[in-house]
């Protein structure tokens, strides 16, 4: 038996209270709420079908009552620039927040939970003593006073997001989960609307802080602000009014910024009674928040309650172990939702980034914004909609007549070069050349990836001079022997595959003269080191690496000529595509980053100056290279004080002006002090920003491992091409295998036909 006090009578506190009473009727559970039973904020809340399944398992009685009150719909409507795109199969359910709370209150009373209303808890220790609590639940919401009191223990990270929003209601009924986008002279406004009960819909209006201020809504009365929204969205309201919540009319803030809350710790042990340790446990919005655009706040609160109840049951009276298990399990699940919510939040904060997308692609981008819904997941939800979109996308790529092919298999054309598909074998250092000359290993490596169906095979960073190499095993393009060796590879690929082949030219800068990657990476050679140059005289690894000389203007002119000469040799060697390495701390990158460029001349200081030498190299190469030209860029240094994605957008614009066709969006390796945040497709948001803000085609790279991810990225307009490295190192035929797995038609080499047949048959028989 336990004495339990829940501070806060929202969904988390009520549901945990009834579950603990249901688990053991001997438990005394008290829920203390500051409002009256029928007071609430907001209008409707949204669940997925999966959440309702969890509720049915935890407490079938309340779940059935809740289900009977739900409005259910499968469709999402996206209204943008005079169009409406409807996608089905999404499985949403909505209910009024007041109705949900009343159902949970009734169920609590039925089970014997004590509900104490109109009581403001000013001291959690007093309330714990009053009820002789063994466990205190802080379910007091997004502005939790308990969390604030013990913030040194809970360590909350609260991030007020960029948009202002107002939670309104309307009698206009929407028969789908509806997103409305309207632009006026002040900027973009968007609406999240859905029916939550008979005759009423939630109508959340959202816009950026900047647009909100430009419109002067901060100076308007609440009534005038609502009228402003009514006028803006009149075409969709069809004469119906917008209504504020009664609580808002009593003076509560109406336009607010959503606070993203993350806490390091969810449990704090206190001693309200001498000699007795009593834990305070955060639950629901007090512990974490997830943006309303993915509709998961109430879901998370209810599932917190379910897990804590189960953890305590499993712990069999060991409260410390039960609470530790609760935080361990729930923090992982919450992080997944919060990651998706972050992606979704940032999408809505940056609608103007996507305003130039065609309405079809805009809708696709919105549907996949959180990365929880992928291309193939859309196919499961609504096959006809996705097939129609695939036909549209193929038509944009020049495929006639329009057919259903995955976006990654559509062709891509640039400066007279046509790639058969959107998959790129990323330039990967192999450390296997001899005096800069590539031999059989490179022929087999690059040739096998081309035979594997890749659209563009990129050779590794190739040095423009002997002292521009990273290691002694790096490839080069500074003499005729190297040109001939490369010709052997490009000829093989052109004669035996449909792939195009490109080469990345670079200068190692301060990262040169090191051991091969499988030896002591980034450490100097044991003997025979050559002198290094960089933007500034700063070693890569302090006290370990050589200190480079600061490059002089005369040396810059020599290196520029070396890049030009190498580009000419790339033409002679038969390459279809050229990329310049301006990332990862190599020479050109060392000028771009303020971490590595501490010059005081015209090549240092502000970004415009730091770009001076890289742009000069690009411009000179463009003069002698007429085919596609891309640049590898570290989109962020992952170090405070280094380049950011904001900088990368400016850099990409500047590079486009001097002839760059495409930016290869990688990140990091500029400084050993970097602190990257890894995850699946973790660099794709950087590519998305550069493409859609700078207006430059991009290659996405980084932890892209599945065809479904490639299709989602390409179809949403987050990138034009996707480059893979490690998946292709482990499987040269990755693309052929992925196509066979999904049943997509693609061209196999004739000599491999029997392999294709066997693989296809084995996959079909599963």
The CA-to-CA distance between both ends of the chain, in Å, stands at: 52
Q: Decide if 586 is catalytic.
A: yes
Are 641 and 593 in contact, with CB atoms under 8 Å apart?
no
CB 291 within 8 A of CB 258: yes
d(CA 42, CA 286): 17
How many C-beta neighbours within 10 Å does residue 478 have?
A: 20
What DSSP element (H or E) covers 67? helix 60-69
CA distance 609 to 613: 8
Per annotation, catalytic residue among 586, 603, 682, 754:
586
Question: What count of other Cβ atoms lies within 10 Å of the Cβ of residue 203?
Answer: 28
| CA dihedral sign, ordered 642, 648, 650, 651 | positive
Cα dihedral value 711, 712, 714, 718, nearest 10:
-160
User: Would the CA dihedral through 467, 468, 471, 475 be positive or negative?
Assistant: negative
CA–CA distance, 330 with 342 (Å, rounded to integer): 18
Please tell me what DSSP assigns to residue 183. Answer: E
Q: Which two tokens stand for residue 3?
A: 């004495």
Q: Is 359 left (phi over 0), alpha (psi -120 to 50) or beta?
A: alpha
Measure the CA–CA gap between 15 and 214, rounded to whole angstroms. 42
DSSP-H helix ranges across 452-541: 480-496
8 A C-beta contact, residue 756 and residue 740: yes
Peptide bond into 642 cis (omega under 30): no
Which H/E stretch holds residue 195?
strand 187-197
Residues in the chain: 766
Report whether 93 contacts 197 (CB < 8 A).
no
Taking a C-beta distance cutoff of 8 angstroms, is the pair 354, 689 a contact?
A: no
3-state secondary structure 333-382: HHHHHHHHHHHHHHHHHCHHHHCCCCHHHHHHHHHCCCCCCCHHHHHHHC
CA–CA distance from 433 to each of 193, 462, 564 (Å)?
60, 10, 22
Give the residue numbers marked as catalytic: 586
């Amino acid at each position: 038996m336990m004495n339990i006090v829940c501070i806060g009578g929202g969904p988390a506190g009520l549901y945990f209270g009834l579950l603990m009473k249901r688990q053991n009727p001997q438990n005394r559970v008290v829920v203390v709420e500051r409002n009256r039973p029928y007071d609430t904020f907001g209008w409707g809340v949204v669940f997925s079908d999966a959440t309702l399944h969890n509720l049915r398992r935890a407490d079938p009685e309340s779940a059935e009552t809740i289900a009977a009150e739900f409005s259910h719909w499968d469709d999402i409507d996206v209204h943008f620039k005079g169009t409406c795109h409807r996608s089905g199969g999404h499985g949403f359910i909505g209910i009024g927040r007041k109705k949900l709370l009343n159902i949970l209150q009734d169920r609590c009373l039925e089970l014997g939970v004590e509900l104490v209303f109109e009581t403001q808890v000013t001291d959690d220790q007093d309330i714990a003593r009053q009820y002789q609590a063994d466990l205190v639940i802080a379910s007091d919401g997004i502005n939790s006073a308990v969390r604030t009191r013990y913030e040194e223990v809970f360590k909350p990270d609260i991030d007020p997001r960029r948009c202002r929003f107002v939670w309104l209601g309307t009698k206009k009924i929407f028969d789908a989960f509806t997103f409305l986008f309207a632009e006026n002279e002040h900027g973009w406004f968007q609406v999240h609307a859905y029916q939550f009960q008979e005759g009423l819909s939630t109508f959340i209006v959202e816009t950026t802080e900047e647009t909100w201020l430009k419109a002067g809504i901060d100076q308007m009365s609440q009534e005038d602000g609502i009228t402003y929204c009514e006028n803006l969205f009149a075409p969709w309201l069809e004469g119906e009014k917008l209504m504020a919540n009664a609580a808002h009319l009593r003076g509560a803030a109406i336009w607010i910024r959503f606070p993203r809350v993350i806490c390091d710790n969810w449990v704090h042990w206190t001693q309200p009674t001498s000699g007795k340790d009593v834990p305070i446990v955060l639950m629901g919005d007090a512990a974490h928040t997830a943006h309303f655009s993915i509709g998961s706040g109430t879901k998370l609160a209810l599932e917190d309650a379910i897990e804590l109840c189960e953890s305590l049951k499993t712990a069999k009276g060991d409260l410390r172990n039960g609470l530790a298990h609760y935080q361990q399990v729930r923090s992982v699940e919450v992080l997944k939702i919060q990651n998706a919510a972050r992606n979704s939040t940032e999408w809505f904060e940056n609608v103007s980034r996507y305003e130039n997308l065609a309405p079809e692609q805009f809708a696709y981008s919105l549907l996949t914004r959180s990365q929880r819904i992928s291309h193939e997941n859309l196919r499961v939800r609504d096959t006809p909609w996705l097939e129609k979109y695939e036909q549209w996308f193929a038509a944009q790529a020049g495929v006639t007549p329009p057919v259903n092919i995955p976006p990654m298999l559509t062709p891509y054309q640039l400066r007279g070069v046509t790639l058969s598909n959107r998959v790129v074998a990323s330039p990967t250092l192999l450390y296997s050349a001899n005096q800069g000359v590539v031999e059989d290993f490179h022929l087999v490596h690059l040739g096998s990836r081309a035979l594997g169906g890749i659209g563009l095979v990129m050779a590794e960073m190739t040095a423009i001079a002997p002292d521009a190499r990273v290691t002694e095993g790096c490839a080069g393009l500074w003499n005729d022997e190297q040109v001939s060796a490369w010709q052997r590879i490009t000829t093989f690929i052109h004669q035996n595959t449909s792939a195009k082949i490109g080469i990345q030219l670079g200068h190692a800068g301060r990262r040169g003269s090191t051991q091969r990657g499988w030896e002591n990476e980034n450490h100097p050679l044991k003997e025979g080191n050559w002198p290094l140059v960089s933007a500034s005289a700063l070693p890569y690894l302090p006290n370990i690496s050589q200190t480079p000389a600061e490059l002089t203007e005369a040396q810059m002119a020599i290196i520029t000529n070396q890049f030009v000469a190498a580009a000419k040799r790339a033409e002679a060697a038969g390459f279809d595509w050229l990329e310049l390495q301006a990332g990862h701390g190599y020479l050109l990158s060392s000028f771009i980053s303020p971490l590595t460029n501490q010059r005081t001349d015209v090549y240092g200081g502000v970004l415009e100056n730091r770009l001076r030498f890289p742009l000069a190299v690009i411009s000179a190469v463009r003069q002698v290279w007429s085919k596609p030209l891309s640049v590898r860029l570290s989109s962020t240094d992952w170090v405070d004080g280094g380049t950011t994605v904001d900088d990368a957008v400016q850099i990409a614009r500047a590079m486009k002006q001097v002839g760059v066709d495409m930016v290869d969006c990688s990140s990091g390796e500029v400084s050993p002090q970097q602190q990257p945040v890894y995850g699946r497709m973790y660099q794709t948001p950087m590519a998305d920003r550069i493409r859609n803000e700078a207006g430059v085609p991009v290659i996405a790279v980084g932890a892209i491992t599945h065809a479904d991810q490639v299709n989602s990225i390409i179809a949403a307009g987050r990138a034009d091409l996707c480059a893979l490295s490690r998946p292709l190192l482990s499987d040269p035929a990755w693309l052929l295998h992925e196509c066979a797995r999904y049943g997509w038609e693609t061209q196999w080499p004739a000599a491999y036909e029997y392999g294709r047949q066997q693989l296809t048959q084995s996959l079909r028989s599963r």
